[in-house]
């Protein structure tokens, strides 16, 4: 495989990883509340080759996806809840979801009264 096609293949794979859906995740609907995860995507790659008696080409790449916040939408109200670096994603989700549901449920009950 030529160095050019190796580079094209690698860049295509990295482009797939860095698509918009990776940065702004799929919305999750919980009752009247919509939660949208937002992430930071970092990419890196390298490639090299040698043409001589033996053609040798190599490439490598990597990606990192870090959650940074959640967009919380309830009616016309939108909140941005950042994810603290010291806490893991799942821990943050477990902490936020019950709080969000109870906050918006209590506001909804007050609005109906």
Mean pLDDT of 26-50: 85
- Domain residue limits, the chain: 3-112
Residue 39 neighbours by CB under 8 Å, 6+ apart: 22, 23, 24, 25, 65, 66, 67, 68
Tens digits of per-residue pLDDT, 80-98? 988 866 556 666 666 677 7
Q: Is the pLDDT confidence value at 110 over 60?
A: no
Q: Using one digit for the tens of pLDDT, what is the confidence trace for 46-64?
A: 878 787 788 787 777 777 8
Q: Give residue for tokens 């859906």.
A: 21
- In this prediction the pTM is 0.54
């Amino acid at each position: 495989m030529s160095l050019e096609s190796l580079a094209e293949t690698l860049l295509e794979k990295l482009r797939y990883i860095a698509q918009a859906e990776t940065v702004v995740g799929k919305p999750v609907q919980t009752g009247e509340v919509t939660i949208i995860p937002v992430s930071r995507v970092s990419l890196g790659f390298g490639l090299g080759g040698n043409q001589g008696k033996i053609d040798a080409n190599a490439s490598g790449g990597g990606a990192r996806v870090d959650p940074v916040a959640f967009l919380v939408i309830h009616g016309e109200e939108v909140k941005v809840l950042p994810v603290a670096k010291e806490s893991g994603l799942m821990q943050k989700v477990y902490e936020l979801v019950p709080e969000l549901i109870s906050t918006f449920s209590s506001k909804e009950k007050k609005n109906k009264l």
